[in-house]
Amino acid sequence: MATDQARDIFFRDMLRDISGALEDVVGLDEAEGYFAVVGALMGERIWNAYQSERTDPITCADVPDLLVDLKDRIGGTFRIESRSAKSTTFCNGACPFGDRVEGRQSLCMMTSNVFGFIAAEANGYARVDLEKTIAAGDGMCRVTVHFEKEAEGHGREYYAQP
């Protein structure tokens, strides 16, 4: 087995074990909170990297394509299912964590927080709904990023950093 492949499997297994231990010890909600913090840090790092690659500012209109590019870079297969000025819905059939994500829903907070951080930085506000996830056994992911605050809705809200 190639060194890069072995390292990738090692880190996926490690993340699966860490998320499983957290979910077992502190519960799913608290484990999601831990991964939300990590996802926010990753979102900020990725936002800064994308900003440094560009000469013009990232706008709300850029976000959907940027998020697809991000997931492509890390082994996801996210594609845009629908897009409007108010929201974008993404579908995915392959998680970057591979089959190690199954049964580890707390890891989905990485996607929610990275998507939410980037969308909020470009737009001022975002809400991310994880409608279906591979981790929950849905066989695919469906994630909607909302760019406008609505009275009703599920998901996690994000705001641009001051």
Residue listed under structure tokens 């990297």: 49
pTM: 0.89
What is the extent of the structural domain holding 106? 3-159
The CATH number given to whatever domain includes residue 88 is 3.30.1380.20
Q: How many CB atoms lie within 10 A of CB 110?
A: 21
Per-residue pLDDT of the chain (162 residues; tens, 9 = 90+): 568 888 888 888 888 899 999 999 999 999 989 988 998 999 999 999 999 998 999 999 999 999 999 988 888 899 999 999 999 999 999 888 888 888 889 989 999 999 999 999 999 999 999 999 999 999 999 999 999 988 667 899 999 988
Are 94 and 77 spatial neighbours (Cβ–Cβ below 8 Å)? yes
Indicate the number of domains in the chain: 1
